[in-house]
Every structure is written in C-alpha cells, then in structure tokens.
Amino acid sequence: GAWDMIRAYKDMREANYIGADKYFHARGNYDAAQRGPGGAWAAKVMSDARELWQSDMSGRGAEDTRADQEANEWGRSGGDPNRYRPAGLPSKY
C-alpha cells in the first residue's frame, strides 16, 4: 500500500496539473486499499501524516486539509478516484 501512495505522489508531481491534487489523493488511497486491510492502513497512516504536516507547515489551511481528507477517505472506501479527475488530465494518469 505504501508504494501505491508513493506512486500516486510521484505521478502528481510529474503531471504538475492544476486541479488534480484531489484525484491523486483518491487514487493513491484507492490503489493501496485494494491490496487489503494492510494497504488501507498504510494509506490512512500516510494520508494523515501528510495532512498533519501540510496543515501545520505549509499554511494551506483547514479547508484544503478537509478536502484532501475527503478525497483520501473516498478512495480508501472503494470510491472511484475519477470523481476527482479534472478535465484534460493526460490519460496516462
């Protein structure tokens, strides 16, 4: 599960696509959770740690953190990550 999260993060950085953040959050969590309870656990731990750091250090604010966590939970619960896919994001992602 951890590698799924890392891959989603690397893809997000590579894509560098405005508005795609929530899609990559949902996709990483979805992919990790598909591996079973251990993958879902890894996704939750990594997502929570990232959001804690982001809210404390980056100054992006509580609303962005809340929206990220919504996308994380959506993906972890088996929701289709494409719910958050922005129009025009290259199909390789």
Q: List domains and CATH numbers for the chain.
A: 1-84 (1.10.132.110)
The position carrying tokens 């929701």 is 79
Of the candidates 3, 17, 12, 22, the residue with the CA atom closest to the CA atom of residue 60 = 22
- Output the pLDDT for position 43: 96
Is the pLDDT assigned to residue 32 strictly greater than 90? Answer: yes
* Exposure string over 13-27, b if 16+ CB within 10 A, otherwise e: eebebeebbbbbbbb
Q: Is the pLDDT of residue 90 over 80?
A: yes
The pLDDT value given to residue 59: 63
Q: Residue 56 — pLDDT band, cuts 50, 70, 90?
A: low
